[in-house]
Structure 1
Amino acid sequence: MSDAAGRGYHALMRAKVLSSLRRLAVMNPFLTDLLFGVVVAGVTLTFGLVSFDGSVDPGHARRSLDVAGVALTLVANLALAWRRRAPVLVLMISCAAAIVFHAAGYDARLNGVAPLLALYTVAGRRAPAVSVPCVLLPVVSLWHAAFLGPDEFVWPNLAQTSIMVAVAWTFGNSTRMLVERNRRLAHLSERLRQEQEDRARRAVTEERVRIARELHDVVAHHMSVIVIQAGLARYVLGSDPATARGALTTIADTGSEAMGEMRRLLSVLRIDMDNLDNMDEDVDDYAPAPGLQRLDQLVERLRSAGLPVEVSITGQVRPLAPGIDLCAYRVVQECLTNVLKHAGPATARVSLHYGALLELRVTDDGRGAAATPQENGHGLIVIGERVKLYKGTVAAGSKPSGGFEVVVTLPLSSSHQDDQPPQSHGGPNT
């Protein structure tokens, strides 16, 4: 095996061992801590038994390591196996065992690691109000060992052990703060994910409501015209063929327009980045949404369906923002459709006033609200939802003189008042 292959093999084996240890630490923390305590105890005993060949070092020990010393060493170090479950108790046991070990005359350089590791665990798992007083335990243990050493090393040992205690507490407290911060970040991330899901659900719901509103406006208006014209054609088919042909023509034109709007709406729903490049192949599918510039066609269609409509426009006519323009058109469309369906023989009047606000007023002299069916009456609800999106107001009710009236106001932004010449909608002013 070549050197490069050997290095690769050893690196792979080290990676596998580290991965196995990490999995073990996650699955069984107690077993990991027990192994860690065994390692620390083994190193300590090896240092005490082998380094000095069983002889006593007069400068650091008055007693050689025997069974009692081994037992105290095992207690001080193997207690680390429970450091996560009872960190303060483990710190007390480790420090007490170390103090007894040193007071019995054993080597003062041994069993100083376990109290530091136990202090690190206390600082990492308990608040400073608990961990700071616990610093006294390893300080007492290590200072006691320092005073048992050679006189010339007492003060250096005191300084060294004090620094080691401070470092152990600092590292443990930093770990605790890091864990708490990560826990808070995880909690905030979960809240953010839930809020994003809630916003996504609300967006889907709002989009469904918008689509339902558009479908209602398109289908309800055009189908009302078609139903009325079909009834008229059936009624005069034998007696007045010309009127019947005109009604059928109106049905065909209205159906074609309804299909066009439905196709436009569905095409907008289907649009994605893959077919943006192909939009020029079927421009009609992405035609602009209707606005007040198509009010003439709407009025003519209602007139052909048998509803007399009068239009009045006052104020300085100017282009509107696309959303407000569509909203205004749909409001007029819905109001005239309701007059056609519910008012009976009546004349509808549409009034538009351009000022600081756009005021739409649709009135009729028909039967009024008392004769209007209450079931499935979504028209005014749809109008209210549309107008609310643009911070407008809606007022609807029967007139004292008879008939029904709907008044809608929509705020107009000055940013849409440009230099284009005024244009009229819906025919001449009356």
Structure 2
Amino acid sequence: MNNNKLSILFLLQKVKLNKQGKCPIKCRITFHQDRKEFSTGLFVNPKQWDSRLQKAKPPNQENSFINTQLGLIKNEINQAFLFLQVNEENFDVGDIYLQYKGDVSIRTKTILELFKEHNDRLEKLVGKEYSIATLWKFKQARDLVKGFITFSFTKADYQFKDLDLKFVQDYEFYLKTEKSLALATVNKMIQRFRKVVKIAISQGIIDRDPFVGYKVKRVKKEIVYLTTEELKKLEMYQFKAERLQTVADMFIFCCYTGLAYNEMTNLEKSHIVKGFDGNEWINMKRLKTQQTLSIPLLTKSKFIIEKYNNAHEVKVLPSFSNQKFNAYLKEIADIVGIEKRLTHHLARRTFATTVLLFNDVPMEIVSELLGHSKITITQEHYAKVVNKKVSEQMNKLNSKLK
């Protein structure tokens, strides 16, 4: 038996006779020993149906119409089958039926098509669930996959059905060699691509996960932050240049609030509210995750807010571009004598470590104050810092017990 042969058979549903004594005609498509049945919408008197010849007789106007319609259905199914044979390497009986109906088979959906669908949906949720930065990152991820497909296969797109572990591994190699991306960035791009693959699996576009057997290369990155002594040194220094003093104050403010650059830039007076405890809190949404930030204002934070308070300004702090802010921080580090590379993000890390964890604030509270979507993110970044704190405490205990 040839399993690659297409079989088209018309059957009567004799149990469903209508008032006129006619029953519906169904069509059964068989391919690769799989069947798909559907209604033709036609009815015939069972006594006038020849199952061997697959037609209604004797010849009359009604039976001629039925036979013509059945012939058209058979012809269209054969055309759909021929189309899939020419354009597809693998397809099933369901794909033949969808092609016959004029529906695009979900299994023919390509990687870049689904990636675009995902990004289009994400774009509509910007400001509701996602930030514009997240959209840009996923658009960048799609562009990189597109570049890889063109580079490796000289194609404009790639079928999900052809996706396998080798594709994933070669894509990772491409990102490292042709695009010279750092391992952390490579992991992020692979992670975003994997999200689209998971959507393809959930939609039934593919029935296997090409990432099975793929191992993520972990980035061993030490968390850099200011020590208590370095932070105090920065706080005590008085800069002659106003721009440097302002940037230093803003950096210190973030060391005591943990605000990321975007949150610091967008902090408005309306975000400073009186909390349940009678103290002032920052209450705003984190742009990256849309998580609500609720951060109590420490004394040093309040002092800086009061220092730059301007009755005519909506924003709490002065405005600098991210590029200029980090450039001024480099100058500040050189002047003060801090050998670490100062960036705005280092202030956020200092808040998590020197200000919170080293003052025995529990990890779950640190995670809440940083606005992380999961505590595991905080643990992954700051576990070594906690271990160092435990070690210090144990050494103190050990000296007391001697």
TM-score bracket for this pair, using the shorter chain length: under 0.3
Which protein is richer in helix relative to its size?
1
- The alignment's TM-score, normalised by the length of structure 1, stands at 0.23
- Structure with the greater alpha carbon radius of gyration: 1
